[in-house]
Amino acid sequence: MSATALTPAQAGQDARITLRGHLRHTGVLVRRNLLWIRQDPESMFDAVLFPIVFTLLFVYVFGGSIGQALGGGQEAYVQYIVPGLMAMMGMNMAQGVGTGFNQDFNSGVMDRFRSLPIGRGSVLFAKIAVELARMLIATTILMVVGVLVGFDITDWPGLLAAVGLSAVFGSALMWIFLMLGVTMKNAQSVQAMGFLVLMPLQFGSSIFAPPQSMPGWLESFTEYNPLSSLADAARGLMVGGPVAHDLWLTLGWTVAITAVMAPVAIHKFRTKD
């Protein structure tokens, strides 16, 4: 075991840290991560450019054809795709937190953190808090671009509820990528694994197109895809329609993923050699 692995004494110290202590440590680490972003503004490129590029790409390339299938042309597709992209935002931001976490390990930053008398879970919670802030910035940009291309906001409380739901679900996904960031050897491996997970889930969902137009086997897959539940719940909240079923499914997925992956990610972080 290396000098940076958690010793029994350190484990006992971590267990004795109070909730107030964990919150204080998390706040300090959040501030550190925000200062790092300030020094490296290029790290915000994905949060800024992703909602712009994807909104313009799907609205103006696919909006006409898919919009006709929805019965309204490009205007109808704008109302369909913007809530879907909001649901997609959390997953893409989650991949970024795993890559950044892995880079911190390889650069030695995490060795320094694990040698300090701070709660080990505070390091991970701070990462999630900062990534949620980046996600909210990306969501704000998405909505601005969406309004510019014709999205009609008719229900502000529903919009805020959809943003909150996407953030909660995105935080659950971040635990998966934090675990990958700890266990994978390098950032490229985290990105490759994320790509293999993201692509089938994103395109095999109701984010970009109605499942009714898909082959039967793929339509069945979308019914169990949590991204479909999130996208449909966001649409119901933002533009009207059924909400309860998809809302509870999304919250169920959120609780299940967090309950399984959060302890695993924290344990892997504590015991990593």
Determine the Cα–Cα distance for residues 91 and 139; give it in Å rounded to an integer. 12
Q: Which amino acid is present at 83?
A: P
> Over the stretch 221-232, which tens digit does the pLDDT of each residue have?
998 899 999 999
Question: What percentage of the chain exceeds 70 in pLDDT?
Answer: 89
Q: What is the distance between the alpha carbons of residues 62 and 60, in angstroms, rounded to a whole number?
A: 6
* Cα–Cα dist 212/50, whole Å: 27
pLDDT in tens, 124-157: 888 888 889 889 999 999 999 999 999 998 889 9
CA-to-CA dists, residue 84 to 5, 125, 143, 166, angstroms: 42, 27, 12, 10
Instruction: In whole angstroms, give the CA distance from residue 20 to residue 24.
Output: 6
In the structure, what pLDDT confidence band is assigned to residue 2 with cuts at 50, 70 and 90? very low
Mean pLDDT, residues 249-260: 95
Task: Give me 153's structure tokens.
Answer: 């906001």
- Is the pLDDT at 9 greater than 80, yes or no? no
Contact between residue 204 and residue 169 where contact means Cβ atoms under 8 Å apart: no
- For the stretch 154-189, pLDDT in tens is 889 999 999 999 999 999 999 998 888 888 888 888
End-to-end CA distance of the chain: 6
**105-114: which pairs have CB atoms within 8 A and are 24 or more residues apart?**
105/181, 105/182, 105/272, 106/186, 106/187, 110/4, 110/269, 111/4, 113/29, 114/4, 114/5, 114/6, 114/10
Q: Is the pLDDT of residue 1 over 50?
A: no
pLDDT of residue 80: 93
DSSP code of 186? S
Among residues 100, 93, 98, 79, the alpha carbon closest in space to that of 132 is found at: 93
The first and second tokens of residue 154, run together, are 């008719």
Residue 35 confidence (pLDDT) above 50: yes
**C-alpha to C-alpha distance for 252 and 249, rounded to whole angstroms:** 5
What pLDDT, on the 0 to 100 scale, is given for residue 4? 45
What pLDDT, on a 0 to 100 scale, did the predictor assign at position 195? 82
**Mean pLDDT across the chain, nearest whole number?**
84
**Residue of 54, 63, 60, 121 whose CA lies nearest to 93:** 54
- Give the separation between CA 201 and CA 205, rounded to whole angstroms: 6
- The CA angle 93-95-99, to the nearest 5 degrees, is 115
Is the predicted pLDDT of residue 15 greater than 60, yes or no?
A: no
